[in-house]
C-alpha cells in the first residue's frame, strides 16, 4: 500500500534542506535503520522523507555490536535526530556518543533507550517529565541529578556506570518506580544503596 503525504512546497523544501545538512554518518544511519536501503548516501524519496518527518513517533538505531543491529557504523553524536519533538519512543544503543544534550527538545518521550554508549552526563533529559522508562546502563555516568523532576519513571536501569552516589531520586519517584536496577556499579558503596532503600523505599535491584 502506498501512502501519499500531502505537503506544501515550502515544507518539502525545508525537509530536503534538513536531509542535505545531515552528517554523512546520519544519512547512512537513516538509510539503513529507517529506509532499509543499506549504508548509502542516497536521498530518500519525497514521500519517504515526509512520512519520517511528519508521522514518525518511534526511532531505533542499534550499532554493529548490538544483539539486533540495524546500523553498520556507530554514531558519534546525536546531531542528526529528526526535529520531531513529539517522538514517543527513542532507542539509540551500542554507539560512541558521549553527550545527550541534543535530546533536550524531546520532552514528550515516554521510552528512552540509550544504553551501551559512552555517555558521561544525562544533561539534556531534565524536562522529559512524561518519561516512564529510561535505560542508560553501561555508560560512564557519575551523576543522576538530572532525573530529579522525572517522577513518572516506572523503570530505570543505571547498572554498569561510574556512580558513587544515587542522587536525583526522591520520595516522589517512589510512588511510581517499580524497577530500579543499579547494581553492579563498582564504585557505589553499600551504605548508599541502604540509604536509598531505607529513606526512599526504593528497592535497588541487581541486573
Q: What pLDDT sits at residue 145?
A: 98
Length of the chain as a residue count: 207
Q: What pLDDT sits at residue 54?
A: 87
Q: What pLDDT sits at residue 2?
A: 46
Q: What pLDDT sits at residue 3?
A: 46
Q: What pLDDT sits at residue 1?
A: 38
Residue 129 near residue 109, CB atoms below 8 Å: no
Q: What pLDDT sits at residue 5?
A: 57
Q: What pLDDT sits at residue 86?
A: 82
Radius of gyration for the chain, computed over Cα atoms and rounded to the nearest angstrom: 19
**What pLDDT digit, counting tens, does each position of 8-66 carry?**
889 899 999 999 999 999 999 999 999 999 999 999 999 999 999 888 899 999 999 99
- The domain limits of the chain are 57-206
Query: At residue 10, what are phi and psi to the nearest 5 degrees?
Result: -65, -40
Q: Which helix (H) or strand (E) holds 194?
A: helix 190-199
Q: Residue 55: CA atoms inside 13 Å, Cβ hemisphere, count?
A: 12
Q: What pLDDT sits at residue 6?
A: 65
Burial class (CB in 10 A: 0-12, 13-18, 19+), 164: middle
Query: Is domain 57-206 classified as CATH 3.40.50.620?
Result: no
Residue 200 near residue 176, CB atoms below 8 Å: no
Q: What pLDDT sits at residue 148?
A: 97
Maximum separation of any 2 CA atoms in the chain, in Å: 61
Q: Cα(80)–Cα(121) distance, rounded to whole angstroms?
A: 19
Residue 117 near residue 140, CB atoms below 8 Å: no
Q: Cα(161)–Cα(118) distance, rounded to whole angstroms?
A: 10
Pick out the chain residues at pLDDT < 70.
Answer: 1-6
Amino acid at each position: 500500500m502506498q501512502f501519499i503525504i500531502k505537503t506544501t512546497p515550502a515544507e518539502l523544501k525545508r525537509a530536503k534542506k534538513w536531509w542535505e545538512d545531515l552528517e554523512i554518518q546520519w544519512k547512512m544511519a537513516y538509510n539503513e535503520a529507517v529506509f532499509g536501503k543499506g549504508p548509502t548516501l542516497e536521498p530518500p524519496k519525497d514521500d519517504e522523507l515526509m512520512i519520517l518527518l511528519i508521522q514518525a513517533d518511534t526511532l531505533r538505531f542499534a550499532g554493529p555490536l548490538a544483539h539486533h543491529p540495524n546500523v553498520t557504523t556507530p554514531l558519534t553524536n546525536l546531531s542528526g535526530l529528526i526535529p520531531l519533538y513529539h517522538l514517543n519512543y527513542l532507542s539509540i544503543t551500542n554507539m560512541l556518543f558521549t553527550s545527550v544534550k541534543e535530546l533536550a527538545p524531546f520532552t514528550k518521550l515516554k521510552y528512552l533507550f540509550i544504553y551501551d554508549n559512552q555517555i558521561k552526563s544525562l544533561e539534556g533529559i531534565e524536562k522529559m517529565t512524561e518519561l516512564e522508562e529510561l535505560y542508560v546502563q553501561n555508560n560512564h555516568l557519575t551523576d543522576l541529578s538530572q532525573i530529579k523532576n522525572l517522577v513518572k519513571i516506572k523503570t530505570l536501569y543505571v547498572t554498569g556506570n561510574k556512580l558513587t552516589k544515587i542522587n536525583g531520586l526522591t520520595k516522589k519517584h517512589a510512588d511510581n518506580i517499580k524497577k530500579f536496577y543499579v547494581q553492579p556499579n563498582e564504585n557505589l558503596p553499600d551504605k548508599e544503596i541502604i540509604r536509598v532503600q531505607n529513606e526512599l523505599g526504593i528497592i535497588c535491584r541487581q541486573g
